[in-house]
């Protein structure tokens, strides 16, 4: 917490001065600097400091900053009575004349302190789960104790009536590769709470070891159509991590649907990028190219739109195309880079959106194919300066040594020479 008073005007009390006085006095009534230095001396007393610290923690006349420092000091003594006392500070209800903000800060710091104690704090926090007023905060604290001893406790509240408690349970359980956790996570993808479903999907997306036995991809695919967009997006990313070939059809259906939000389409493209690093690269690449060709920002949502185009706003379509182009620009393997280069060159040469052209230019520069330099030269005469600047940057990358000479020769042959290009070089 520590308070807004900060250190004293003299930069705090020197430790040598404190040794000549009672460190407890500075700890109780001093400013931030005095409390900080006093606590160091108090900790040197070892376990003899526990009893007075516990007394001070329960003192209703002590201010919130003193209680904060008391919890901090007690955190050095993971004894049962200490853990119980710190756990008692986890409460939403203001006490000891604290404000609501101070109460929240004390509770949060108590949680942080107990989490640092690890397994030793599990029993005390488990007891708090029995108290309806402290149940949520106890679950939040247990969420941060990432040791296997917490698994049975959190599994026991995975079906709690409070969705927030269920979330903290599933979020923590998802970090364990433990057989007892698997059925809990699988059940949670059908939870009424979107936050719980999302946490379960995120966890299962990291469990490719469960794919063969539980066919995770088949269980997750329906959530691409979840009513909550965050769940759908997380499902796309989870399927990308799992990388099962059978899920490409489900990803394609959602990606190319005219009703799919742009943010979900972008996450599906991110998922397909992971496929491009696996054996199913060709199938994923084919889908990405198909999507790139079907998104056209010049087509509006009218009945006149061609059947093979996706009717979208110009901005949304451009964002999806840029996402695809960036993925394609990372496919620098020698056997596919030439074909990807051809696709990108055709696309930017027939596309009016400046942002898409800029993304295409930079992707082509990353691919670094020999034919790209000559193919980009006409863009030096583009009416938008930003395109010209991107083209110059790409040409310099493609041929660091001879790019200026080649560009100068190209410009000298034009009927109307864009002299500004050389000024920008």
Task: Give the per-residue pLDDT at 202.
Answer: 97
pLDDT by residue (tens digit) across 45-85?
A: 999 999 999 999 999 999 999 999 999 999 999 998 999 89
Question: Is the CB of residue 384 less than 8 Å from the CB of residue 351?
Answer: no
State pTM to two decimals. Answer: 0.82
HEC string of the chain?
A: CCCCCCCCCCCCCCHHHHHCCCHHHHHHHCCHHHHHHHHHHHHCCHHHHHHHHHHHHCCCCCCHHHHHHHHHHHCCCCCHHHHHHHHCCCCCCCCCCCCHHHHHHHHHHHHHHHHHHHHHHHHHHHHHCCCCCCHHHHHHHHHCCCCHHHHHHHHCCCCCCCHHHHHHHHHHHCCCCCCCCHHHHHHHCCCCCHHHHHHHHHHHCCCHHHHHHHCHHHHHHHHHHCCCHHHHHHHHHHHHHHCCCCHHHHHHHHHCCCCCCHHHHHHHHHHHHHHCCCCCHHHHHHHHHHHHHHECCCCCCCCCCCCCCECCCHHHHHHHHHHHHHHHHCCCCCCCHHHHHHHHHHHHHCCCCHHHHHHHHHHHHHHCCCCHHHHHHHHHHCCCHHHHHHHHHHHHHHCCCCHHHHHHHHHHCCCCCCCHHHHHC
Task: Give the per-residue pLDDT at 297.
Answer: 54
Task: Give the per-residue pLDDT at 415.
Answer: 77
pLDDT in tens, the chain (425 residues): 655 444 443 444 444 444 445 889 989 989 999 999 999 999 999 999 999 999 999 999 999 999 999 999 999 999 989 998 998 898 877 877 789 999 999 998 998 899 888 888 898 889 889 888 888 988 998 998 889 999 999 999 999 999 999 999 999 999 999 999 999 999 999 999 999 999 999 999 999 999 999 999 999 999 999 999 999 999 999 999 999 999 999 999 999 998 999 999 999 999 999 998 887 788 999 999 999 988 865 443 433 444 455 556 677 889 999 999 999 999 987 788 999 999 999 999 887 789 999 999 999 999 999 999 999 999 998 889 899 999 999 999 999 999 999 998 888 888 776 667 777 77
Task: Give the per-residue pLDDT at 352.
Answer: 73
């Amino acid at each position: 917490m520590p308070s807004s008073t900060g250190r004293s005007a003299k930069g705090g009390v020197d430790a040598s001065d404190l040794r000549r006085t009672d460190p407890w006095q500075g700890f109780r009534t001093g400013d931030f600097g005095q409390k900080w230095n006093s606590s160091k001396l108090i900790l040197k007393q070892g376990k003899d400091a526990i009893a007075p610290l516990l007394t001070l923690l329960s003192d209703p006349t002590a201010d919130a900053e003193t209680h904060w420092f008391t919890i901090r000091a007690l955190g050095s003594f993971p004894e049962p009575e200490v853990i119980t006392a710190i756990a008692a500070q986890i409460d939403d209800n203001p006490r000891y004349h604290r404000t609501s903000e101070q109460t929240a800060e004390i509770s949060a710091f108590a949680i942080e302190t107990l989490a640092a104690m690890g397994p030793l704090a599990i029993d005390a926090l488990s007891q708090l789960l029995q108290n309806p007023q402290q149940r949520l905060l106890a679950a939040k604290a247990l969420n941060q104790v990432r040791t296997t001893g917490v698994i049975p406790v959190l599994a026991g509240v995975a079906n709690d009536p409070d969705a927030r408690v269920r979330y903290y349970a599933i979020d923590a359980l998802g970090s364990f590769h433990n057989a007892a956790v698997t059925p809990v996570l699988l059940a949670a993808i059908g939870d009424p709470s979107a936050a719980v479903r999302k946490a379960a999907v995120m966890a299962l997306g990291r469990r490719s070891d469960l794919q063969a036995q539980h066919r995770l991809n088949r269980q997750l695919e329906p959530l691409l159509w979840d009513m909550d967009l965050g769940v759908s997006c997380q499902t796309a990313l989870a399927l990308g991590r799992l990388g099962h070939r059978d899920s490409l059809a489900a990803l394609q259906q959602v990606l190319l649907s005219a009703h799919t939000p742009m943010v979900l389409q972008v996450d599906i493209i991110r998922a397909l990028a992971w496929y491009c690093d696996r054996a199913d690269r060709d199938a994923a690449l084919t889908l990405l190219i198909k999507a790139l060709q079907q998104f056209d920002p010049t087509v509006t949502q009218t009945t006149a739109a061609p059947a093979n185009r996706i009717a979208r706003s110009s901005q949304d379509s451009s964002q999806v195309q840029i996402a695809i182009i960036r993925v394609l620009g990372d496919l620098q393997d020698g056997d596919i880079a030439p074909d990807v280069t051809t696709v990108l060159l055709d696309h930017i040469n027939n596309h009016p959106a400046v942002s898409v052209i800029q993304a295409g230019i930079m992707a082509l520069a990353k691919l670094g194919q020999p034919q790209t330099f000559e193919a980009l030269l006409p863009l030096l005469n583009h009416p938008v300066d930003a395109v010209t600047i991107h083209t110059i940057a790409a040409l310099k990358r493609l041929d660091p040594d001879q790019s200026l000479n080649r560009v100068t020769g190209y410009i000298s042959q034009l009927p109307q020479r864009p002299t500004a290009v050389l000024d920008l070089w």
